[in-house]
Amino acid sequence: MILLRSLLFYIFFIPCTISIAILVLITRVMGRDVAWQVGNLWGWCGNALLRVFCGIKVKTEGKEHIPSEPCVIVSNHQSTWETTTFPTLLPPFVWILKKELLYIPIFGWALFALGSIAIVRSNPREALKQVNEQGQDQLKTGHCVVVFPEGTRMPVGKSGKYQPSAVMLAKKANVAILPMAHNAGACWPKGKILKYPGTITVRILPPISAEDVKEKKRNDILAECESRIVSACKDIGG
């Protein structure tokens, strides 16, 4: 039954993804903010389909912690779900993502149109330079920057090594860091077709202020982000 429900989800989700990506490309001529709002439909549609076909609900905690000013957002990464839904939960932002995603027809073009920062992971030095330069430009224009410090999707209950790029960017831009945690992998596991019924909980944690980011050591801030995210993940079952 789970397999059947999961397949039904994809029968509707894939055409939905393609259609919305095309609409993003069309509306990009009206400005990135307009295209961003259109792109948000992907998350709303995806979550509606998950609820109807797979019995998956979404619960968000801590939205009051989102700063009014642009910031660097860091989160654990477990699933494709984050890509679809984070835009519906957060202020306008850009992703830090691997460059290969831009080569996906239509979908990748839409990611490019929305200003995503595409890095080549095989060249860490150049990638870090790109994140710092383009990330600061985006923050200056009022857009947040979302970083998955683990660099790749991790199974539920496991955590990868946190990389310092998000902290370095926040320090250079003199902005706050907003940690987030979720358990999406429990319902939408990495690399699997099956979708399991349950509740995806997103917990937005109190930010690390721009002042603290400036004054504290890079490794101390990184350790604090990791500790808080890992702890929250354990608490919500992620």
What was the pLDDT predicted at 191?
A: 85
Q: Which residues of 185-202 are buried (b: 16+ CB within 10 A; e: fewer)?
A: bbbbbeeeeebbeeebbb
Count of CB atoms within 10 A of residue 166's CB?
26
Q: Quote the DSSP letter at residue 54.
A: I
Residues 6+ apart with CB under 8 A from 22: 106, 110
Q: Is residue 139 part of a domain?
A: yes
In CATH, what number is assigned to the domain containing residue 168? 3.40.1130.10
Mean pLDDT of successive 10-residue segments in the chain (238 residues)? Answer: 95 97 96 94 97 97 96 96 95 92 93 91 85 94 95 89 94 97 96 94 98 96 97 93
Q: Is residue 20 part of a domain?
A: no
State the residue range of the domain holding 156: 59-236
CB 92 within 8 A of CB 33: yes
Q: Is residue 146 part of a domain?
A: yes
CB 202 within 8 A of CB 165: no
CB 87 within 8 A of CB 39: yes
Three-state DSSP at 99 gives helix
Two tokens at 74?
């860091």
What was the pLDDT predicted at 124?
A: 81
What was the pLDDT predicted at 98?
A: 87
Q: Is residue 186 part of a domain?
A: yes
Q: Is residue 26 part of a domain?
A: no
What was the pLDDT predicted at 89?
A: 96
Which has the closest alpha carbon to 166: 157, 184, 178?
Answer: 178
Q: Is residue 7 part of a domain?
A: no
Q: Is residue 37 part of a domain?
A: no
Q: Is residue 9 part of a domain?
A: no
Number of domains the chain contains:
1
